[in-house]
Structure 1
């Protein structure tokens, strides 16, 4: 459900209601939750942008949405089939998207946030192996390493 990278964990809200999700975050002492969904909407009550932001604020957690790091809808199927050719193609396409200037700037922002705050990256999938946030965490780790050498 989580991977810790440079002060940043990845979390999915699959299987949670808003109360259990907030309770899940508490032991991690999260300062800011960064939503990396392309569109911060959900059919699951409490997880659309406004409601989620409000619930997090009540728990003392800041909310930020970085839609530039969202995975395009037409690239998601491969992530749901780890180890397949479709997955390899989806990962390659998403990594290419991360190299674009706006996404790279968002990765730098995350790397910097992770040096001073406890950050959680949010998407839906409970399993990192089925979610693009794993690739974001890998890219942020590379950015953090680069920042450490500056």
Structure 2
């Protein structure tokens, strides 16, 4: 049974540093929660990433329903964080997001999952909101991983009920 839900962003990361962080944390499944699972960064688009993960024994799942809507991404990029959080909170109440969240919750109790999105800083990313929702429902501890091989594994905290 899992005790931790992890998150990671690949902004500024190399693929090798990203994969190393996942191996160090013993992640068994990446749950990609990007609305659009493509990237200009080599190796981080859906198919290429799934293939690289498979090579090191990590499974891949894309839960698009948990992706941040375009308006939320635009608000976050512009630094309008309260607007971003309001947009994402509204999205998270949608039927598609609730179904994807239920799936993530169910899987998180059986596997060592890591929620994936782009942003390096977890506090400005919707993956922290999703992780907190999972933690509240399951009692799991949240750990934010850093893909920088020179840093520690990441920060750990328990979500408030």
**TM band (smaller chain):** 0.7 to 0.9
> How many Å apart are 1:9 and its aligned residue?
0.7
Correspondence for 2:114: 120
Distance between the aligned counterparts of 1:117 and 1:79, measured in 2? 30
Aligned equivalents of 2:106, 2:112: Cα separation in 1: 11
1:108–1:143 Cα contact (<8 Å) kept: no
1:45 aligned residue: 42
Count, aligned residues: 138
Unaligned runs of 5+ in 1: 146-150
Q: 5 Å matches for 1:92-131?
A: 92-131=86-125
Structure-2 change in CA distance of 1:7 and 1:102 (3 Å) = same
Alpha-carbon displacement from aligned partner over 1:106-139 (angstroms, at most 9, x marks no partner): 1111111111110000011111112111111122
Give the strand-richer structure, 1 or 2: 2
Select the structure that is richer in helix.
1
Structure 2 unaligned segments of length 5 or more: list them. Answer: 140-161
With 47-56 and 129-138 compared, the bigger mean Cα shift is at: 129-138
For residues 98 and 119 of structure 1, the distance between their equivalents in structure 2, rounded to whole angstroms, comes to 19
Q: TM-score, normalised by structure 1?
A: 0.84
Q: Cα RMSD between the aligned structures?
A: 1.8
**TM-score using structure 2 length:** 0.79
